[in-house]
Amino acid sequence: MDMHAVVIHEPGGPEVLHYESMPVPEPGIGEVRVRMRAAGLNHRDIWVRTGTSGPFTGPVIPGSDGAGEIDAAGPGVFGIETGKKVVILPGMSCGRCEACLSGQQPACLQYRIFDGTYAEYVVVPQQNVAPMPSGLTFTEAASIGIPFLTAEECLKRAQALPGQTLFLWGATGGLGVAILQLAKLRGVRVIAATRSAARADKLKQLHADDVLVWDGTRDVTGEVLNLTGQRGVDVVVDSLGQLTFAQSLAMARRGGVVVTVGGTTGTTMQCDLAQIFRRRLTILGAFMGQSGILPRLLPLFARGVLLPVIDHTYPLEQADQAHEQLQRGVFGKIVLEL
């Protein structure tokens, strides 16, 4: 039996995403096969495509997030019925080491992120699927994964408290929209920054308290200090990196927390360490999150407490156009439908 999938044979631009036929994979011991119905795009997919997520080791099917139905199970799989609707859990680890056994899977030496959801069928270990929230479409369910996993990890580790203030760069992206919602759920005041005036209203609809439209030159730090009575914010979440991190350090309050969770503008920077030690800042790195986070958050989507935010959908064969749009900028998520 053959299936359709999007395959990258050599790194490059969106044109290297080839829509092809290939054999349907067979589930091995402890694995399940999922008939995918939707695949959510992440910036990671672009890095996989361009070969910047690690050394390029041969043909790869991109895509870490997705939703579909259980189609087949390998030997040793019990209690997962064929036809059950599931969400892919994209974090993969050994399951046996101290980090894994203490619930810190991203610290596992074998931790990696699953690639392969741009395909009609995927095979994953049975612990890498979770029940899909009721009342959601496959497209909505496919939009949740990495952004909400990472967002919750950021907020949990930053220990943002009710009444505190959080500054959020890149608020309109998939991760930004997730952080905004989870921060508001905690009773945190959110100052959100976006480069698009057209998207500022949408951030207000998601209950951002203040929205700063930022053109790359505007003195965001000064405005944040004005909005906080010159005190600075308790928590800054920075996924842009090189372009913004110095400002992130400057706008944090004394004793505040700056979370670095990505580098979409680059990952190299220079800073004055006195800025960190004299002002007693905590710098936290966040990457993916504990495996228990998504199973804990998914029911909140069924109850309408958290909202999937979809910017646009494309059929699988138009993955190249979907990538181009993601690189141009989005509000929420781009999802491929299969």
Task: Give the footprint of Zn ion on this chain (CB under 5 A).
Answer: 93-94, 97, 100, 108
Nearer to Zn ion, 105 or 139 (CB): 105
Q: Minimum distance from CB of 112 to Zn ion (Å)?
A: 11
Nearer to Zn ion, 80 or 94 (CB): 94
* Dist CA 90 CA 159 (whole Å): 24
Q: Minimum distance from CB of 128 to Zn ion (Å)?
A: 14
Residue nearest to Zn ion (CB): 108
Nearer to Zn ion, 91 or 308 (CB): 91
Q: Which of 121, 119, 144, 174 is nearest to 6 (CA)?
A: 119
Characterise 264 by phi-psi region: left (phi > 0), alpha (psi -120 to 50), beta (else): alpha
**Rg for the chain, CA atoms, rounded:** 20
SS3 call for 168: strand
Q: Which of 190, 224, 193, 186 is nearest to 207 (CA)?
A: 190
Nearer to Zn ion, 110 or 159 (CB): 110
Backbone angles phi, psi at 168, to 5 degrees: -125, 115
Nearer to Zn ion, 127 or 265 (CB): 127
Nearer to Zn ion, 288 or 326 (CB): 288
Q: Minimum distance from CB of 107 to Zn ion (Å)?
A: 8
How many CB atoms lie under 10 A from the CB of residue 143?
33
Q: Minimum distance from CB of 92 to Zn ion (Å)?
A: 10
Tell whether the torsion through CA atoms of 329, 335, 337 and 338 is positive or negative: positive
Supply 117's token pair: 């959801």
- Provide the 8-state DSSP code for 308: -
Q: Minimum distance from CB of 99 to Zn ion (Å)?
A: 5
* Dist CA 2 CA 242 (whole Å): 44
Q: Minimum distance from CB of 98 to Zn ion (Å)?
A: 8
Q: Minimum distance from CB of 105 to Zn ion (Å)?
A: 7
Dmax of the chain from CA atoms? Answer: 64
Instruction: Indicate the residue type of 74.
Output: G
Instruction: Indicate the residue type of 335.
Output: V
Q: Which of 180, 184, 259, 248 is nearest to 220 (CA)?
A: 248
Supply 120's token pair: 């009609």
Nearer to Zn ion, 94 or 198 (CB): 94
Nearer to Zn ion, 41 or 100 (CB): 100
Backbone angles phi, psi at 318, to 5 degrees: -105, 35
